[in-house]
Amino acid sequence: MVSVDFKSKLDRMVIPFVKHNHIQSEGYLLNESPQQAYICKVSKDWSGALPATLIINQKNDSKNFYEQEFTWDQLEKTYLANR
C-alpha cells in the first residue's frame, strides 16, 4: 500500500483503515518530486489530483482507481467490494 495523499491524513485515516481491515501488506508514504514521475505509473486515468485511491486485488488481478474523496464508510465499502 502506498499513500501519496497528504501526510496529515496518514495518522487520522490511513493507519486506522489498515488496522481496522487487518491489512497485512506493507504501507509506504510517497513524498517524491516531481509528482509527474509517478502519476502515470499509478494509473493512466489519474490527473494527479488528490485524494486518489488505487485498490489492487492480487487474487483476481484487478486494479480499481478512484480520483475522489471518501468518507470512512465509503472507503471501507469500496475496499470490501474490491476484495
Whether residue 78 has pLDDT greater than 80: yes
Task: Please give the model's pTM, rounded to 2 decimal places.
Answer: 0.61
Mean pLDDT of the chain: 85
Instruction: Give 3-state DSSP helix, strand, coil % of the chain, rounded to 5.
Output: 35, 15, 45
Tell me what pLDDT residue 42 has.
83
Which pLDDT tens digit goes with each residue over 37-76? 788 888 888 898 888 888 988 889 999 999 999 998 999 9
Higher pLDDT, 14 or 71: 71
Q: Where are the domains of the chain?
A: 2-78
d(CA 33, CA 62): 28
Tell me what pLDDT residue 5 has.
67
Distances (CA, A) of 21 to 3, 15, 55, 59: 16, 10, 13, 17
Using an 8 Å Cβ cutoff, are 81 and 66 in contact? no
